[in-house]
């Protein structure tokens, strides 16, 4: 299903994961699927960039792409919000849902003529359910709102106001595990013959050995309580639910339907690959098939309420094989962790890393798996990773180029709150989830204070106030890039085709819809660069600059001159 939510899946049986894996490995050469391991997806050089044009295609106008099959990816830009850190409406130091509503105009005021909003089309709310922890990923009530954040009515007002501005709202849904403080688990632990005992995984009940290593990398997955051992692959405060129990599956589908009926537009699914996978040795095709089958069933249930619900899964893998399996009528998108690493590497090294070459081939395969119904979910970092600016050594030029790469690629780009103002942040996790910086002095109406801004204290740039006072700020760069993306259909919705630049300091690629093609050229370096334009097949050459964010690029015949750290969009 496309993220513009305009089509409905036609369900078909799950393809053989073996066949999918074989096809993917042949075409993009995956080498590893272990979480947190960098994997280089290296396409075979012999794969052609596009099929040969048919006789009918040779008569097309120069602006029309010649590829016979273009799988468009209608998209919008999403903004990830940690509610606790974003904006405080009642002065208690904790961000809340009313605070987000107050700041919707910062994200998108609904008026395309204004220039002081980001222009995003969606927001992702990190967990908003009641929880004993600050982050909320251990839920105690799936049908309620964390009282620190407000009420269900506050959420509905936020959704209504967001929709008025053309903003979709998706929420984190954490179904792999609950909190150990959840009433279900308390009853399960105390009552071996109770209704909820089999809602969790108890080693003694299932005659399983109390040994192994957590698939999440957190150590021993078994934890003791009242003489029994339960499975909790992340930590003892997050007991895993037993999805072999049909009552658990039914309850989780009911919970999803509950939130869609309240107006939520979809979900970001936490720990999506861990529903059945629990031990590090458990990575079989059969286990993956069970995961995919569950999420297909969940998808069908959600479509009964809202066929246009957007579902994006966290499958933390750099392997296209592993992510691709979930795009078969389960998720609309899977987060592209491998691409995120490549984007930051390119920006930091100032060197092209073959992003377009890899994506072009990966997307052909994802399109085949999903019958053309997938859209990538692309990002630079999220709430589990050191922030962009910290990874780029606080270099604003590199941060601008990372953003430029992200916001000119296919798929739904996700921006982590504060990324657009250059917030710094390194682990532990509280350090990458610090309060959003609104004011130069660090205090003011709405500023959250639940955690010190220790990573950002003394920073001369990481606040909205300071960024707004600069003409060529990182924040303005984000606004400009999103505006260009929203204005150019091929940038917003097009597929990608590699374009050889002949210059290692330049990343170039084409974006194509069935009616339009543009050439995107990034000078990643701090020096002026030159690139020769060459016609591709029967498409004709690029002859004019459509958008120049630097306002100083020059096109002279078939050569374009690019100033340092610049992005140019060309048209035929």
Per residue in 306-338, pLDDT tens? Answer: 999 999 999 998 888 889 999 999 999 999 999
Q: What is the pLDDT of residues 179-207, one digit of tens each?
A: 999 999 999 999 999 999 999 999 999 99
Nearest residue to 384 via CA among 175, 176, 172? 172
pLDDT of 459: 80
Strands lying side by side in the sheet with 495-498: 495-498, 506-512, 517-523, 566-571, 544-548
pLDDT of 78: 98
Mean pLDDT of 503-514: 97
Distances (CA, A) of 529 to 518, 543, 561: 20, 18, 6
Contacts 24+ apart (CB under 8 A), 468-472: 468/116, 469/440
Residue 4 pLDDT level (bands cut at 50, 70, 90): very low
Residue 29 pLDDT level (bands cut at 50, 70, 90): very low
**Residue 65 is inside which H or E element, if any?**
none
Q: What is the pLDDT of residues 43-95, one digit of tens each?
A: 322 222 333 333 233 333 334 555 457 899 999 999 999 999 999 999 999 99
Q: Is the pLDDT of residue 520 over 70?
A: yes
pLDDT of 461: 81
Q: Count other Cβ atoms within 10 Å, centred on residue 283.
A: 14
Q: How far apart are CA 503 and CA 327, in angstroms?
A: 35
Q: Is the pLDDT of residue 547 over 80?
A: yes
Q: Are 236 and 218 in contact (CB under 8 A)?
A: no
Buried b (16+ CB within 10 A) or exposed e, 366-380: bbbbbeebbbbbbbb
Please state whether the peptide bond connecting residue 312 to the residue before it is cis, i.e. omega within 30 degrees of 0. Answer: no
pLDDT of 68: 52
Tell me the helix, strand and coil percentages in the chain, rounded to 5: 30, 15, 55
Hey, CA dihedral for 220, 223, 229, 231, is it positive or negative?
Answer: negative
Q: Are 136 and 126 in contact (CB under 8 A)?
A: yes
Q: What is the pLDDT of residues 352-365, one digit of tens each?
A: 999 999 999 999 99
Q: What is the pLDDT of residues 483-500, one digit of tens each?
A: 999 999 999 999 999 999
Which residue is associated with the tokens 């958008």? 547
pLDDT of 468: 95
Q: Is the pLDDT of residue 378 over 50?
A: yes
Nearest residue to 549 via CA among 459, 469, 482, 467? 482
Q: Is the pLDDT of residue 119 over 90?
A: yes
pLDDT of 202: 98
pLDDT of 55: 28
Q: How far apart are CA 385 and CA 427, in angstroms?
A: 7
Catalytic residue positions, numbered: 270, 314
Please state whether the peptide bond connecting residue 269 to the residue before it is cis, i.e. omega within 30 degrees of 0. Answer: no
Q: How far apart are CA 5 and CA 307, in angstroms?
A: 8
């Amino acid at each position: 299903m496309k993220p513009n939510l305009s089509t409905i899946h036609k369900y078909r049986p799950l393809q053989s994961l073996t066949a999918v894996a074989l096809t993917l490995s042949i075409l993009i050469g995956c080498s590893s699927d272990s979480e947190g391991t960098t994997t280089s997806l290296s396409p075979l050089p012999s794969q052609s960039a596009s099929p040969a044009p048919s006789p009918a295609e040779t008569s097309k106008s120069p602006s029309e792409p010649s590829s016979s099959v273009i799988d468009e990816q209608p998209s919008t830009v999403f903004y990830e919000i940690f509610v606790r850190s974003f904006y405080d409406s009642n002065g208690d130091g904790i961000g809340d849902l009313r605070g987000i509503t107050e700041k919707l105009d910062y994200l998108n005021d609904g008026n395309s003529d204004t220039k002081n909003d980001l222009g995003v089309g969606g927001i992702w709310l990190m967990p908003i359910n009641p929880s004993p922890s600050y982050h909320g990923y251990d839920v105690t009530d799936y049908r309620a709102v964390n009282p620190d954040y407000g009420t269900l009515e506050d959420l509905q007002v936020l959704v209504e106001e967001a929709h008025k501005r053309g903003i979709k709202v998706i929420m984190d849904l954490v179904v792999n595990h609950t909190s150990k403080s959840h009433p279900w688990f308390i009853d399960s632990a105390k009552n071996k013959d109770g209704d909820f005992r089999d809602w969790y995984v108890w080693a003694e009940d299932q005659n399983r050995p109390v040994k192994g290593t957590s698939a999440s990398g957190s150590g021993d997955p078994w934890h003791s309580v009242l003489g029994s051992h339960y499975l909790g692959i992340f930590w003892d405060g997050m007991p895993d639910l037993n999805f072999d129990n049909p009552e658990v599956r039914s309850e989780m589908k009911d919970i999803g339907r509950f939130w869609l009926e309240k107006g939520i537009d979809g979900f970001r699914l936490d720990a999506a690959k861990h529903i059945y996978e629990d031990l590090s040795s458990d990575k079989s095709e059969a286990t993956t098939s069970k995961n995919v089958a569950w999420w297909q069933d969940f998808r069908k249930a959600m479509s009964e309420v809202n066929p246009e619900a957007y579902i994006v899964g966290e499958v933390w893998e750099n392997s296209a094989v592993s992510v691709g399996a979930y795009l078969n009528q389960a998720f609309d998108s899977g987060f592209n962790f491998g691409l995120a690493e490549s984007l930051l590497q390119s920006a930091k090294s100032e060197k092209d890393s073959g992003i377009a070459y890899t994506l072009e081939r990966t997307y052909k395969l994802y399109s085949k798996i999903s019958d053309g119904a997938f859209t990538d979910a692309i990002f630079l970092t999220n709430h589990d990773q050191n922030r962009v600016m910290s990874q780029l050594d606080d270099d604003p030029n590199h941060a601008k180029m990372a953003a430029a790469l992200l916001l000119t690629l296919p798929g739904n780009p996700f921006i982590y709150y504060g990324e657009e103002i250059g917030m710094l942040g390194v682990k532990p996790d509280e350090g990458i989830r610090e309060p959003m910086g609104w004011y130069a002095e660090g205090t003011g109406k709405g500023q959250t204070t639940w955690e010190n801004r220790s990573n950002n204290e003394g920073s001369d740039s990481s606040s909205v106030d300071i960024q707004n006072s600069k003409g060529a700020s990182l924040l303005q760069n984000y606004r400009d890039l999103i505006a260009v993306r929203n204005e150019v259909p091929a940038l917003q919705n097009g597929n990608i085709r590699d374009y050889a630049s002949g210059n290692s300091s330049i990343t170039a690629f084409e974006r194509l819809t069935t009616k339009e093609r543009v050439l995107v050229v990034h000078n990643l370096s701090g020096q002026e660069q030159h690139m020769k334009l060459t016609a591709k097949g029967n498409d004709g050459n690029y002859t004019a600059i459509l958008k120049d964010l630097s306002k100083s690029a020059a096109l002279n015949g078939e050569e374009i001159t690019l100033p340092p750290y610049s992005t140019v969009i060309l048209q035929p």
